[in-house]
Structure 1
Amino acid sequence: MITRQKYQDYINVLKEELIPAMGCTEPIAIAYAGAIAREHLGCLPERVEIEVSGNIIKNVKSVIVPNTGGLRGIEVAAAAGIVVGDAAKELKVISEVSTEAVSAIHKFLETTPITVNFSDSKKIFDIMITVYGNGHSAYVRICEFHTNVVEIREDAKYVLQKDVALEDSLDFTDRGFMNVQEIIEFADTARIEDVKDLLDHQIECNVNISEEGLTGDYGANIGKVLLKTYGTDDVKIRAKAKAAAGSDARMNGCEMPVVINSGSGNQGITASIPVIEYAKELGVSDEKRYRALLVSNLITIHLKSGIGRLSAYCGAVSAGCASGAGIAYLYGGGVDEVSHTIVNSLAITSGIICDGAKAPCAAKIATAIDAGILGYHMYKEGQQFYGGDGIVSKGVENTIKNVGQLAKEGMATTDQEILKIMTKTQSN
């Protein structure tokens, strides 16, 4: 039986993670820092200095920043936030931008010196922006996650300062209490009125951007390719295609919001769209759909908690695995079915690397969802992977811990090599 405190903890985690964002969240975090810095400087800067950790460079390098006229890069994200950003909107900081404002961003980029440097910070997620103008400066640091502002300075005066070595500086509910068995119990017993608004917003935003991806022309159009190649009759194909289409649009400048999960719009799309599509196919009640979305979202968060916000381990793997768990729940599965789905799917796709946010993410999402669905159907057919099969250990929580160790510790060097390759590779 889940205690009242744990029940509230699960609600709090959902409220902290299922938030709206427009654009890939790493460049948007840079824009957010830029908007805050501009506010504290009090004028348009004459010069900008930016320091970021390697994973920020990795996730900003190749993705289009929305409302910039198709531009990419750290300098672009910072300029957008500085020139037209509204810091009060947080991860929707550049969601309302006029044509004239886009021109102003371009002019700022042409006339204002902006330098970008690698940070020697030990943090995986670290953004530092200093802006200069009218003989003054303002400094903003965002660390650990996308809206966690830990330092603001006006000249030498501290306006805000948190100790980033302390866990409570994160202003987040600790995730250590989560486990698969309790997630299923929470999903079974949650009061729908406590989660309805959150999930309705996720459904609305993520379905809308998925539909835009299928009707527009974005990136490599993975969603369209899947439907054209395999048809629309199979729910599995539609689930993969519609999720991929949402990523197609999001990675390639679509100016529509998504509800993210674990700091990622791609993970938010992957955790939700397949479950929504299967719920429609199976004709389940709205209540069952909500409860399945709780399973998928919370399993994603649980998996990502051991991995970290950014890693060389592709986040779509966790969300695709979790969508398989949500689908298993839609079919009437409980702890046993969900646990086996998770283990089976993690065994299949845990080798997929994250080489930054970009168009190919959509294809990785389709692959991860396929593994999640296969993981469930393996269980239905009496098939499974066993402890000792590679990184699989007996018990779902042990396998989840193994994945966290693989991603956070084992792939640290891989992350460095990916960044080296990305920073020297030119587009074909």
Structure 2
Amino acid sequence: MDKQSRTYQAYVQILKEELIPAMGCTEPIAIAYAAAKARDVLGGMPDKVEIGVSSNIIKNVKSVIVPNTDGMKGIEAAAAAGIVGGQADKALEVIAAVTTDQKAAMRTFLKQVPVTVKAIDNGFIFDIIVTLQQGSDSAVVRICQYHTNIVLIQRNSEVLLDHTAQETKQLCGDAAPAESGLTDRALLNIADIFAFADTCEINDIRPLLETQIRYNTRISEEGLRGDYGANIGSTMLKFYGEDVRNRAIAKAAAGSDARMSGCELPVVINSGSGNQGITVSVPVIEYARELGASDETLCRALALSNLIAIHEKAGIGRLSAYCGAVSAGCAAGCGIAYLQGADLKAVSHTLVNALAIVSGIICDGAKASCAAKIASSVEAGILGYHMYKNGQQFRSGDGIVTKGVENTIRNVGLLGREGMRETDKEIVRIMMQEP
């Protein structure tokens, strides 16, 4: 691929936009980020906090432990962490440097300061509005569409930043809403992704991917060593053996085990999700080690898997009732196939086969069971490739599978974005009824 081409430059930029470090589940961290920014705008600690969040934020924050809070869960805990110990300039690592005293201060803050949480629906699946008050002074920060996209900053009656009108325009049309400030994901397609990964100047992407390898390997290993969540990773190794296939599945699951239980190690995310970042990378890394692949080959395989996952998610949206681990696990299967010499045809069939197997997995929020869904998705990705190697495939007309990998990806996008809207609402209603 021509390095000067629009597509090449876009793919490099997309990787830079998506493969960023984050500590903790990204939805509560986004709340902490908004809260820390609002505290800075206010210029002091608030005596009242109001938080408005869209239903998908409620879903993804309800059951996950916020790191660096000594085990606290929920929207209120995430906001308190940002207000008391957050460093807004660190974005998705906003609470990475919290001190022991600040952890204790968070609990005191929640006892002393009223925090009100309400559901909002402004047409955005991803929407967070944090309002802090200190006497007669107030500060408002709004994050919309994706985790670091601050669209409104206001202090008292003075509007310091307002991109809300621009964001509202993005809601028009039948496609997934465009994300302002980010490179156009419509340029992504499997053929060009394969060409880019296979021929790109490796130093253009190496720093991003080396950080992903280092961070995501470390948290997966911590997940296997410790006692986190439902311990899906260590259970996989205990009962299904330690061949490379099972190690790839188990280590990806273990990273999620740790992350969903408040592990304070950072990960490099994909499509706004740490779980997806782990899923799309750790299995590929494990296979590369088993196969003795060079560092360059591993980077190319990771570029392929990361971009395929981003391509899949672009049509679905950041949050949905469609489990994001599915997109990442199927993409990991493509990266594993590439490591074993797969060409474009093999990668395309791997992806279609895998999507046909696991596209029915729902997202019911961030929590311990995410690790098990990751295990199933990575297994499907690997099976998808082995099916192709065995001369087998799912064909057009088999359910949502249709002729051509791009058409099948488009069908999955419609399923996740449009078809599962009511499912998403019902999931949130069910979750809110729990004691």
Q: Residue type matched to 2:387 in 1?
A: M
- What is the CA–CA distance in structure 2 between the aligned matches of 1:407 and 1:169, rounded to whole Å? 17
What is residue 42 of structure 2 aligned with on the other side? 41
Q: Does 1:114 align with 2:115?
A: yes
- What is the CA–CA distance in structure 1 between the aligned matches of 2:27 and 2:194, rounded to whole Å? 31
- What is the CA–CA distance in structure 1 between the aligned matches of 2:179 and 2:249, rounded to whole Å? 38
1:268 alignment partner, SS class: helix
Indicate which of 252, 255, 259 corresponds to 1:246. 255
What is residue 76 of structure 1 aligned with on the other side? 77
What is residue 208 of structure 1 aligned with on the other side? 218
What is residue 282 of structure 1 aligned with on the other side? 291
What is residue 224 of structure 1 aligned with on the other side? 234
What is residue 273 of structure 1 aligned with on the other side? 282
Q: Does 1:154 align with 2:155?
A: yes
Q: Residue type matched to 2:231 in 1?
A: N
What is residue 355 of structure 1 aligned with on the other side? 364
1:262 alignment partner, SS class: coil
What is residue 424 of structure 2 aligned with on the other side? 415
Deviations 1:43-66, CA, capped at 9 Å, x for gaps: 100000000000000000000000
TM-score in terms of structure 2 length: 0.97
What is residue 310 of structure 1 aligned with on the other side? 319
After TM superposition, give the deviation of residue 165 of structure 1 in Å: 2.1
Contact 1:33 1:140 in 2 (8 A): yes
Contact 2:145 2:179 in 1 (8 A): no
Q: Does 1:190 align with 2:200?
A: yes
Q: Residue type matched to 2:157 in 1?
A: A
Runs of at least 5 residues in structure 1 that lack an aligned partner in the other structure: none
- What is the CA–CA distance in structure 1 between the aligned matches of 2:418 and 2:135, rounded to whole Å? 45
What is residue 335 of structure 1 aligned with on the other side? 344
Deviations 1:18-57, CA, capped at 9 Å, x for gaps: 0000000000000000000000111100000000000000
Deviations 1:227-250, CA, capped at 9 Å, x for gaps: 111121x11100000000000000
- What is the CA–CA distance in structure 2 between the aligned matches of 1:38 and 1:253, rounded to whole Å? 24
Contact 2:338 2:347 in 1 (8 A): yes
Deviations 1:355-379, CA, capped at 9 Å, x for gaps: 0000000000000000000000000
- What is the CA–CA distance in structure 2 between the aligned matches of 1:119 and 1:21, rounded to whole Å? 25
Q: Residue type matched to 1:180 in 2?
A: I
Contact 2:85 2:99 in 1 (8 A): no
2:133 alignment partner, SS class: strand
What is residue 164 of structure 1 aligned with on the other side? 167
| 165-174 or 31-40, larger mean C-alpha shift | 165-174
Q: Does 1:174 align with 2:177?
A: no
- What is the CA–CA distance in structure 1 between the aligned matches of 2:167 and 2:108, rounded to whole Å? 36
Measured on the aligned residues, the alpha-carbon RMSD in Å equals 0.9
- What is the CA–CA distance in structure 2 between the aligned matches of 1:308 and 1:169, rounded to whole Å? 10
Q: Residue type matched to 1:347 in 2?
A: A
Q: Residue type matched to 2:41 in 1?
A: H
After TM superposition, give the deviation of residue 198 of structure 1 in Å: 0.2
Q: Residue type matched to 2:308 in 1?
A: I
Q: Does 1:425 align with 2:428?
A: no
| 282-291 or 266-275, larger mean C-alpha shift | 282-291
After TM superposition, give the deviation of residue 172 of structure 1 in Å: 0.2
Contact 1:150 1:169 in 2 (8 A): no
Q: Residue type matched to 2:254 in 1?
A: A
- What is the CA–CA distance in structure 2 between the aligned matches of 1:368 and 1:346, rounded to whole Å? 9
- What is the CA–CA distance in structure 2 between the aligned matches of 1:147 and 1:286, rounded to whole Å? 31
Contact 1:150 1:161 in 2 (8 A): yes
After TM superposition, give the deviation of residue 416 of structure 1 in Å: 0.2
What is residue 7 of structure 1 aligned with on the other side? 8
Contact 2:39 2:83 in 1 (8 A): yes
What is residue 391 of structure 2 aligned with on the other side? 382
Runs of at least 5 residues in structure 2 that lack an aligned partner in the other structure: 171-177
Q: Residue type matched to 2:79 in 1?
A: A
After TM superposition, give the deviation of residue 5 of structure 1 in Å: 1.6
Contact 1:313 1:411 in 2 (8 A): yes
Contact 2:133 2:139 in 1 (8 A): yes
Deviations 1:147-203, CA, capped at 9 Å, x for gaps: 000000001110000021245872100100110000000001111111111000000
Deviations 1:202-228, CA, capped at 9 Å, x for gaps: 000000000110101100010010011
- What is the CA–CA distance in structure 1 between the aligned matches of 2:257 and 2:387, rounded to whole Å? 29
- What is the CA–CA distance in structure 2 between the aligned matches of 1:113 and 1:201, rounded to whole Å? 40
After TM superposition, give the deviation of residue 134 of structure 1 in Å: 3.2
1:275 alignment partner, SS class: helix
Contact 2:143 2:152 in 1 (8 A): yes
Contact 2:152 2:160 in 1 (8 A): yes
Deviations 1:297-355, CA, capped at 9 Å, x for gaps: 00000000000000000000000000000011001011100000000000000000000
Q: Residue type matched to 1:252 in 2?
A: S
| Alignment: residue pair count | 425
Post-superposition, which runs of at least 4 consecutive aligned residues in structure 1 deviate over 6 A? none
- What is the CA–CA distance in structure 2 between the aligned matches of 1:331 and 1:382, rounded to whole Å? 16
Indicate which of 292, 297, 309 corresponds to 2:306. 297
Pairing 1:76-95 to 2, within 5 Å after superposition: 76-95=77-96
